[in-house]
Structure formats: structure tokens, C-alpha cells
Amino acid sequence: MNPSTALARVLVDELARCGLVEAVVAPGSRSTPLALALVAHPGVRVHVRVDERSASFLALGLARASRRPVAVVCTSGTAAANFHPAVLEADESGVPLLVLTADRPPELRGTGANQTVDQIGLYGGAVRMFAEVGTPDPAPGMVAYWRSLACRAWASALGGHPGPVHLNVAFRDPLTPDQPTGDGPQWTAPLDGRAEGRPWTSRPGPRTESAPHVPADVERGVIVCGDGDYDPVPFLALAEITGWPLLAEPTSNARRSGAISTYRQLLAVPGFARAHAPELVVSVGRPNLSRQILAYLRRTERHVVVTTSSVGDPTASLPDDFSDPARTATDVVAAIAPPAGLNWERPASTEWSRSWARAEGLAREAVDGVLDAEETLTEPRLARDLASHVAAGSLLFAGSSMPIRDLDATMHARCGVRLVGNRGVSGIDGTVSTAIGAALAHQRAGEGHAYALLGDLALLHDQNGLIIGPGEPRPDLAIVVVNNDGGGIFSGLEQAGHPDFERVFGTPHGVSMERVAAVTDLPYTRVEWATDLPKALLGEGLRIVEVCTERAASAALRRRIQDAVDAAVTGTF
């Protein structure tokens, strides 16, 4: 066996022993050994994509939904650079990703050799670990080195703060298992790993110790659940037994029964925000979706941040990259427990909790009243109704810009739906591919249907993600696209008044999603009325549902919603 094939087979085998079950391959020549090793391994499902950026975001979606590292492979040169946006998103959102970039051997670097760039440390500080694997020379100890390195990479991706790991793998010719001429070095040492399929290096389990309690004498407490992949149940329990309101962003998956679903509008009412200034805020995840939450965090006397990387392991070392966008954190803890002595059998009821509950009821009625006033499927109503209509066990991927914000503003509290999105960097890169990857992982785990709510620019930005070759795994995913012919988020920002707004920020494109669906041979449905949405969501496989709206009208509707909440709440507290 030639050295390149030996290295690739050992790396893939050891990663599979660690737990690798999914890999994404972008075709190329220099990465041939890795690609062939992956498709030959019976325990790894391989996905092939022709676009490296789409491939990397597909891997990101698979990893995000499955909560385990996924490998993504490319050849040398600009191919590796196209992984960078997904690496940045994985870094900021804490998604475990194994980035395997093939490279030219050292003797070809810096010589002008074709498709050769400097790939050493290509992703900078965005990765948890980088290793230049080195050329596969037939020297003693190489198999142990490769296997231990694979285990270390796996552990680094899944560690206390999950994220991307970059292994740069240099391959010399021959790149395929066969050597027709018989020339060149052969690999003769045993390539075997540990007995019984065990990984080369095993990780110890987490320690368990008690978590610190929150103060028992605080009535005006608030729990803020931001974006992140953590268990929301402890924070829901804390809210119930303390009576503290729980303000949950959609992708926290904590907007369940009892959560304040209209906090975004309530905190935008100046009088309400002043009257409900908290003594203590307990936050978890990344609470950065709305200006209202950031302003509210600045009002608190004490802010306890619970690090999501440590949830489930209270004694894990605290990362220094905990989320504190308002810079108000007074305490950072690995876990938190309710105050001692509270009644776990009966939810707390205080004037503080009752005031929030009254405001939620009034605001909820006001929001729904504006949305239900007409049957046209508006952007905010689409977000609310989609989140309500999807069945329990479903996955809903939310695009950046307005889709996630409309969900935040209108979504009712409910259980049974898993919401995910690329909220680490909040770009529109690769959102189609991420949604497809998340759907594939969700359904491989035996879960239900999957849906995505995207804007038109996000879909156009990643049209290549819709190109899935024959025989490749395909998800059951309805991509619901809001087509307002441009960048809708800017219509609600200060740029809207600029004389060059439409060209520079609105960026109209004139593309119907029906044409996009036709190019990729996907089923297509257009929906205009709210009553038709449930039927349009029916179906199987990958499909596109288009809802056409107007940017200016949508911005005006959002202002009417806020005005209605202002009128309903002002003077009642």
C-alpha cells in the first residue's frame, strides 16, 4: 500500500472509531486518498457536493443537528479558502467540525506549482486546533502518531467549547491505491488500531459536583436564554420555581410553556422597560438577536452568565469566550441551581411574575390581532404560522436577517419543535446547505419533517446547495422562501432614507423562486393566503415554497405591531 493511501485509511478509520458517521467531500485531485478512504468505510455516510462553500455548510448543518463532529474534505488551493465562512460560523456558534484540507507536499510549496497556496494556519484563531499532519513517510511510529492525532482532533472539536478543527494533510503521488508501475515507496507496517474497535485514546467522563445557587432573596430576577445548543430544561425549571420571567430567543429552544413570547415588543415600550428593570439577570447562550435585550441587560444590577460549554459538566473549566455582548457580566459560572428552600411542587407567584404575565397576555393579543386582521400571508404572519403549524418532532431552520427576527417577534411559546440557525456570525453564507445538512442529520436520527424559513437573497446566495447529484442522500425539507425582491432587513434601518437606498441596500434582483426550482428540478409552490400555508407545507423530499411580499409594506406592518403593543401595555403597570 502506498503511503498516501495508508495515511488516509488510518485517519478515516481512527475518526470512525471515535464516532465519525458523516462526511462531506468536495471533489478534487489532491484529496483523492481521503475521498476514497471515506467512501470505502462502511461506518461513514458520505455526501458529495461540487461547491466547496456549500459542502462546508452542509457539514456544518449535519454537525449542528447531530451534535457530533462531521468531516469535510477538499483539495488544495482556493478550495480550502472556500471553507472559511463555515469555519467562522462553526467557531462562533460552537459547532464541532473536522476540516480536512489536502495539500501539496513541502517540496512543491513556494515553487509556483499549480494549485498551491500557503494553507498553514489558514483559518487563524477560528479553529480549536490546527495540525500540519506532515507527509506520510514510512518511518517507525507513524501509525501511532496518525491515530493519536485523530483522537486529539476529535476531542478538541468536542471539548469544553466545541468548534472547528483543521488538519492539513499533504499527499505525494501516487494518490490512488494502485501503483501500476510498482515504483515508489510501499507501506508495509501494520495499520491496525486498538482491539475491539476502540479509539487509540479514550476520554474520561465529566466529573459531577454541586452547582452554585442563585440568591434566594431576589424577586425581580429575569432569565435570558440566547442562541445556543444547550439543555433549556434547567432554566425553564428555574423560571417556574422562582417566578422569574424567561425571555427566550427562538434558537435557544427555550420558548416553551410559560416563556414570555412578546418580550421583544414589551422591552421596546420605554415605560415598561423602566418599570421592569431587573435586580438580577441569569443569561445563557448568546443573547444578541435584538437591541431590546442588549439595552435591557444594561439595566441590571447583577448579571450571572452560565457558560453553555459547561452545561452538564459543572466543574469544566470556564472558557474565556463566554457571551457578554453588553459587557455587564458580574459573575460567570459553569452551572446554576435554584435557590435553596423553594417549593418545587408549586410554581412561584409574585407581583413581579404576575406583572410580566399580564403584560404578555396583552401584548400577545395585540400582536395576533394585527397579524390576523387580513388573510394575506405577510412576513411576520408567515413566521408565526409556520412555527405553529409544523408538527411536533419537526426541525425548523431559520435564516439570518429577517426570518429569525420575525420568528422572535411573533412566535408563540410551544414545545416539540427544534429551531436552529447560523447565529454564530449571522451571515447568509451557505444557509441552504446548512439547512439541508441539519435536515439530513435530523432525519437520520429518526426524527420528523424539516422546514427552513429563508429570505430570497439567502437562497440565491447558496443556489449551489440545491444541486444534489443522483444517488446522494436527499432530505425531506420544505424550504419556505420570503421573496421581497431584495434585502428586507434594511427597510427597517436608518439606511432606508438614503437616496441611493434601493440600488445599494435594497438590491432588487427580479428572480422568481420558481425559476430557481426549475433549474434544480425541484417541486415548487407559491402561497398568497394564510389559510393555504398548511396545505403548501405538505409533501416529501426537497421542495420550495415561495411567499412574495413587499419590503416597504412589511416594514410598515412591523411598526404597526409595535404601536399596537405600545397602546395595549402603556398605563397598565
pLDDT of residue 140: 83
- Is residue 214 in a domain? no
- Alpha-helical (H) ranges within 372-488 are 379-389, 402-410, 431-444, 456-461
Output the domain CATH number for residue 321. Answer: 3.40.50.1220
Q: Based on the fold, state whether residues 33 and 94 are members of the same structural domain.
A: yes
Q: Based on the fold, state whether residues 512 and 558 are members of the same structural domain.
A: yes
pTM: 0.88
Do 161 and 309 contact (CB within 8 A), yes or no?
Answer: yes
Q: Based on the fold, state whether residues 164 and 277 are members of the same structural domain.
A: no
Q: Based on the fold, state whether residues 407 and 490 are members of the same structural domain.
A: yes
- Is residue 441 in a domain? yes
Output the domain CATH number for residue 453. Answer: 3.40.50.970
Quote helix, strand, coil % in the chain, to nearest 5.
Answer: 40, 15, 45
Last residue of a domain, one of 360, 384, 416: 360
- Between 314 and 202, the more confident residue is 202
Q: Based on the fold, state whether residues 473 and 348 are members of the same structural domain.
A: no
Q: Which residue has the cell 445599494?
A: 504
- Is residue 529 in a domain? yes
Q: Based on the fold, state whether residues 74 and 162 are members of the same structural domain.
A: yes
Q: How confident is the model at residue 343 (pLDDT cuts 50, 70, 90)?
A: low
- Is residue 195 in a domain? no
Joined together, the cell numbers standing for residue 134 give: 506532515
Q: Based on the fold, state whether residues 397 and 529 are members of the same structural domain.
A: yes
Note the pLDDT tens digit of each residue in 181-239: 555 556 667 899 988 998 988 765 444 445 667 776 788 999 999 999 989 999 999 99
Weakest mean pLDDT among 48-57, 306-315, 344-353, 498-507? 306-315
Do 96 and 158 contact (CB within 8 A), yes or no?
Answer: yes
Would you tell me the crossing angle of helices 52-66 and 431-444 to the nearest 10 degrees?
Answer: 40
Could you tell me the end-to-end alpha-carbon distance of the chain, in angstroms, rounded to an integer?
A: 77
Compute the distance between CA of residue 560 and CA of residue 93 in angstroms, rounded to an integer.
33
Compute the distance between CA of residue 32 and CA of residue 34 in angstroms, rounded to an integer.
6
Do 485 and 510 contact (CB within 8 A), yes or no?
Answer: yes
Joined together, the cell numbers standing for residue 478 give: 420544505
Give the distance between the most distant pair of CA atoms in the chain. Answer: 87
Joined together, the cell numbers standing for residue 60 give: 456544518
Last residue of a domain, one of 175, 205, 237: 175
The mean pLDDT of 79-83, rounded to a whole number, is 95
Q: Based on the fold, state whether residues 353 and 394 are members of the same structural domain.
A: no
Last residue of a domain, one of 309, 326, 360: 360
pLDDT of residue 488: 76
Q: Based on the fold, state whether residues 520 and 406 are members of the same structural domain.
A: yes
Q: Based on the fold, state whether residues 376 and 296 are members of the same structural domain.
A: no
**How many CA atoms are closer than 13 Å to the CA of 278, on its beta-carbon side?**
27
**In sequence order, what are the residues at sequence separation of 6 or more whose Cβ sits closer than 8 angstroms to the Cβ of residue 128?**
156, 157, 159, 161, 162, 163, 164, 165
User: Which domain range does residue 410 map to?
Assistant: 372-568
Q: How far is CA 123 from CA 11, 166, 322, 332, in A?
A: 21, 8, 21, 28
Q: How confident is the model at residue 341 (pLDDT cuts 50, 70, 90)?
A: low
- Is residue 573 in a domain? no
337 pLDDT exceeds 80? no
Report the DSSP beta bridge partners of residue 544. 479, 524
> How many structural domains comprise the chain?
3
Do 253 and 232 contact (CB within 8 A), yes or no?
Answer: yes
Note the pLDDT tens digit of each residue in 378-421: 999 999 999 999 999 999 999 998 999 999 999 999 999 999 99
Joined together, the cell numbers standing for residue 552 give: 416597504
Q: Based on the fold, state whether residues 151 and 67 are members of the same structural domain.
A: yes
Note the pLDDT tens digit of each residue in 537-565: 999 999 999 999 999 999 999 999 999 99
- For residue 482, the surrounding DSSP H or E stretch is strand 477-483
Q: Based on the fold, state whether residues 132 and 236 are members of the same structural domain.
A: no
